């Protein structure tokens, strides 16, 4: 998969984001800033760290991965809606797009595809798990605007059905070569609560996603608020409005904004029911003993019919088009791709189907353009 090192343009972003080592721990792609979640092999929660749910043991992740520091925005979603709408109409027969596809801040109809005037493109968006899967497939495939690029790659949408016995078949976990994905419940929990420096460097879990055992206060940043939550308007604010309220890894808005989809099903035999984490902006309660932002508090909903927010995960490594791993995407990478392609080197198989054809070129060029 992606190799180490980072796209160059990220340097400034990394420094601005709070002094993380630029280049080594951040990656900018598709308009999202990804942060490396390292410390592979960290342990799960212990009972004392999740007093509400002492039987739950989560947060241990055995691999390194990237996670976006903010949620997917309405503006990012809008580009996907424009691209997928013709296929949506063809496959569903509907010309007025459902909230599962477009969320609540975008309208897609035959005569217009728009962001509602009441919404800011920088706000966090909403979609169902099934459409999040299509969005992620599309990103994985370099934003190629062909049906296969939306329906295959990371999550095979042909599995999105219920059989005659009432059993749902939705793909349980991402494909092994996934470039992007929804974080699992463990990955999301680790990025939000696990602190490798806690307990004198032994590591431990905070109670909340703000590197603290104290619940983040809802309200405007200018009034001491720590969570993107309150009566709308003005909420929700655009993503990243609380740059100083972050997890030990630098994750923003895990509390507030939108609740966030994870890849994980509630149980292996209930594949249509997926876990999502964190409070939405409309949840402005404070001081509940069982706050929905407390560690291990997972909500669940239908992968087919519930629209909530999401935060992108990405495979560890470099920018997908930085083939020579020098931190830049330029002529030398294109040159290398052509050579590999001519030689049928598997690293030029960007469509990941074992065949060398124009689709590999399309996907690669999509990543060249994805700075
Ligand atoms: Ca959130
Ligand atoms: Ca390069």
> From ligand 2's centre to the CA of 317, what distance in Å?
13
> From ligand 1's centre to the CA of 295, what distance in Å?
14
Q: Which fold has domain 1-320?
A: 3.90.1580
Closest ligand relative to 293 C-alpha: 1
> From ligand 1's centre to the CA of 214, what distance in Å?
17
Closest ligand relative to 126 C-alpha: 1
Closest ligand relative to 368 C-alpha: 2
> From ligand 2's centre to the CA of 78, what distance in Å?
30
> From ligand 2's centre to the CA of 170, what distance in Å?
37
> From ligand 2's centre to the CA of 330, what distance in Å?
6
- The domain ranges of the chain are 1-320, 327-369
Global confidence as pTM: 0.93
Distances from the Cα of 353 to the Cα of 11, 177, 316, 348, 357, angstroms:
34, 11, 21, 11, 10
pLDDT per residue rounded down to tens, the chain (371 residues): 454 444 444 333 332 322 232 367 999 999 999 999 999 999 999 999 998 888 999 999 999 999 999 999 999 999 999 999 999 999 999 999 999 999 999 999 999 999 999 999 999 999 999 999 999 999 999 999 999 999 999 999 999 999 999 999 999 999 999 999 999 999 999 999 999 999 999 999 999 999 999 999 999 999 999 999 999 899 999 999 999 999 999 999 999 999 999 999 999 999 999 999 999 999 999 998 789 999 999 999 999 999 999 999 999 988 999 999 988 999 999 999 999 999 999 999 999 999 999 999 999 999 999 87
> From ligand 2's centre to the CA of 326, what distance in Å?
5
> From ligand 1's centre to the CA of 298, what distance in Å?
13
- Convert 84-111 into a string of H (helix), E (strand) and C (coil): HHHHHHHHHCCCCCCHHHHCCCEEEECC
Closest ligand relative to 7 C-alpha: 2
Q: Which residues of 108-147 are buried (b: 16+ CB within 10 A; e: fewer)?
A: beeeeeebeeebbebbbbbbbbbbbbbbbbbbbbbbbeee
Closest ligand relative to 258 C-alpha: 1
Q: For residues 278 and 308, is the Cβ–Cβ distance under 8 A? A: no
């Amino acid at each position: 998969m992606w190799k180490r090192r980072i796209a160059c343009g990220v340097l400034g972003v990394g420094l601005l984001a709070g002094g993380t080592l630029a280049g080594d721990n951040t990656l900018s792609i598709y308009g999202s800033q990804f942060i490396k979640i390292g410390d592979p092999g960290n342990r799960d929660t212990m009972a004392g760290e999740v007093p509400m749910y002492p039987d739950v043991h989560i947060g241990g992740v055995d691999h390194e991965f990237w996670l976006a520091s903010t949620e997917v925005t309405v503006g990012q979603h809008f580009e996907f809606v424009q691209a997928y709408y013709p296929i949506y109409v063809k496959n569903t027969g509907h010309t007025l797009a459902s909230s599962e596809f477009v969320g609540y801040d975008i309208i897609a109809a035959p005569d217009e595809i728009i962001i509602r005037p009441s919404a800011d493109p920088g706000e966090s968006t909403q979609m169902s798990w099934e459409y999040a899967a299509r969005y992620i497939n599309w990103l994985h495939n370099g934003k190629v605007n062909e049906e296969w690029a939306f329906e295959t790659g990371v999550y095979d949408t042909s599995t999105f059905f219920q059989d005659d016995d009432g059993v749902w078949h939705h793909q349980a976990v991402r494909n092994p070569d996934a470039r992007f994905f929804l974080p699992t419940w463990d990955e999301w929990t680790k990025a939000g609560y696990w602190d490798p420096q806690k307990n004198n460097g032994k590591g431990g879990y905070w109670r909340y996603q703000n590197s603290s055992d104290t619940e983040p206060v809802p309200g405007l940043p200018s009034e001491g608020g720590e969570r993107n939550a309150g009566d709308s308007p003005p909420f929700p604010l655009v993503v990243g409005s609380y740059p100083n309220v972050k997890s030990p890894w630098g994750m923003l808005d895990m509390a507030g904004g939108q609740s966030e989809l994870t890849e994980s099903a509630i149980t292996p035999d209930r594949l249509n029911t997926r876990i999502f984490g964190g409070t939405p902006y409309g949840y402005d309660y404070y001081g509940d003993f069982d706050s929905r932002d407390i560690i291990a508090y997972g909500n669940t909903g239908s992968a087919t019919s519930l629209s909530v927010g999401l935060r992108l995960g990405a495979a560890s490594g470099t920018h997908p088009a930085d083939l020579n791993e020098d931190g830049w995407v330029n002529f030398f990478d294109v040159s290398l791709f052509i050579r590999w392609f001519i030689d049928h080197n598997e690293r030029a198989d960007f469509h990941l189907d074992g065949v060398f054809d124009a689709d590999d070129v399309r996907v690669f060029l999509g990543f060249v353009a994805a700075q």
